[in-house]
Amino acid sequence: GAGVSQSPRYKVAKRGQDVALRCDPISGHVSLFWYQQALGQGPEFLTYFQNEAQLDKSGLPSDRFFAERPEGSVSTLKIQRTQQEDSAVYLCASSFYQGANGYEQYFGPGTRLTVT
Amino acid sequence: AQTVTQSQPEMSVQEAETVTLSCTYDTSESDYYLFWYKQPPSRQMILVIRQEAYKQQNATENRFSVNFQKAAKSFSLKISDSQLGDAAMYFCACVLSGAGSYQLTFGKGTKLSVIP
């Protein structure tokens, strides 16, 4: 079956613009994660959904970051008033449920956001 | 909170030779899983190998094996018979298997080059 998909793959935004990044998880996966990966760094956790419920948003760096998953499948990460420090690759990952398959998460290809 | 440290920013290995990537972690929890993920230049993160903390036996997946030293909180990855396709960023990661959001905590990564 299809893996995790993300769109757009690349996004260039001018400072101050709002952006929306989309994630389509693997069908049937209950858990969905967003990570931010700065250049040359490992991914860092942003937020976690179980179905449509956002159970952990402790990694969101500011109130300019907002994520939703209204129907428990597709998720959108929105960044308002983008700043240069928001430039990074945003990775989405999904898993069937907590603990399933040894906690393995399946990653999408990421969206590279560049803020100019 | 758990931390993961990879002390080797870059490594290189001759094709067909063996290389070991290092990882140490720190957590006060007793139930957790450890992972090695591979991220080729295309950016899609792929699971290489997984180790359950409660298992004493080191995990093995074909040419990939780990040396898990729980007391030392060390989790190294050995790649045998290295191939050109093994060239990538390798990330060590940890997830707690108790209550929580099951987020992955990553190290900063090791860039592996394979020399023909």
Task: Give the pLDDT confidence of A25-40 residue by residue, as tens digits.
Answer: 999 999 999 999 999 8
> Three-state SS string across chain A, please?
CCCCEEECCEEEECCCCCEEEEEECCCCCCEEEEEEECCCCCCEEEEEEECCEEEECCCCCCCCEEEECCCCCCEEEEECCCCHHHCEEEEEEEECCCCHHHHCCEECCCEEEEEC
Task: Write out pLDDT tens, residues B50-108.
Answer: 999 999 899 999 999 999 999 999 999 999 999 999 999 999 999 987 766 688 999 99
User: Which pLDDT does position A103 carry in this prediction?
Assistant: 80
Work out the end-to-end distance of chain B between its first and last CA atoms, rounded to an integer number of angstroms: 41
The pLDDT score that the predictor gives to residue A49 is: 94
Q: What is the pLDDT of residue A57?
A: 94
Cis check: omega of the bond before A8, within 30 degrees of 0: yes
Q: Is the pLDDT of residue B114 over 70?
A: yes
Look at A103 and B45 and tell me if their CB atoms are within 8 Å. no
B58, B99 Cβ separation under 8 angstroms: no
Residue A97 in contact with partner chain B when CB distance is under 8 A? no
**Across the A/B interface, how many CB contacts are shorter than 8 Å?**
63
**A5 CB near a chain B CB, below 8 Å?**
no
pLDDT tens readout for residues A75-108: 999 999 999 999 999 999 999 876 656 688 999 9
Residue A43, chain B, CB below 8 Å: the answer is: yes
Quote the pLDDT of residue B31.
Answer: 86
